[in-house]
Amino acid sequence: MKILIDMNLSPYWREILAKHGWESVHWSSVGKITASDKHIMQYAKANDYVVLTHDLDFSAILAATEAKAPSVIQIRAQDVLSDRFQNLVVNALRQFESVLSSGALVVIDESRSRARVLPLSE
C-alpha cells in the first residue's frame, strides 16, 4: 500500500509511516501546493495511492462522485502528531489494510476507527 500524504498534514508522517513499513510521499514533493482536492484525488487514483488527509472534503468528493477509488484515510483529531494518535493511525492502517487496497474510506478519530467500502452510495 502506497500512501499520499495531503498538504494539511506534516511531511513528518513519511517518517512515521516508513518506520512501520509503508511507502509514502507528501503531496508537496509530487504536485503543486495549490492543487485542488479533486486534482489530488485524480493523481492518487492514477498512481495507485491511498490518500491520508485531515480534510473532510475528500470524503465529500467520494460520496458525490460515487468513486470506487482512491481509498481515503481521514484523520479527525487536533493533535495529529502525538505519540498516542500516531499509534491509533498505525493500528487502523493495519486493521483496514485489506479494505484500503480494494477501495474504502477509513475515518480515524481519538476514540475509534471505522471503514466504509467504496462507493459510499451503496
Contacts of 27 (CB under 8 A, 6+ apart): 4, 5, 6, 7, 33, 35, 40
Cell 511507502 sits on residue:
23
Integer Cα distance of 90 and 100 in angstroms:
13
**Domain range for residue 86?**
2-117
Query: Could you give the maximum distance between any two Cα atoms of the chain, in Å?
Result: 36
Tell me which residue of 79, 34, 35 sits closest to 54, measured CA to CA.
Answer: 79
Question: What does the pLDDT look like over 16-47, one tens digit per residue?
Answer: 999 999 999 999 999 999 999 999 999 999 99
Q: What is the CATH number of the domain that holds 64?
A: 3.40.50
Please give the tally of structural domains in the chain.
1
* pTM over 0.85, yes/no: yes
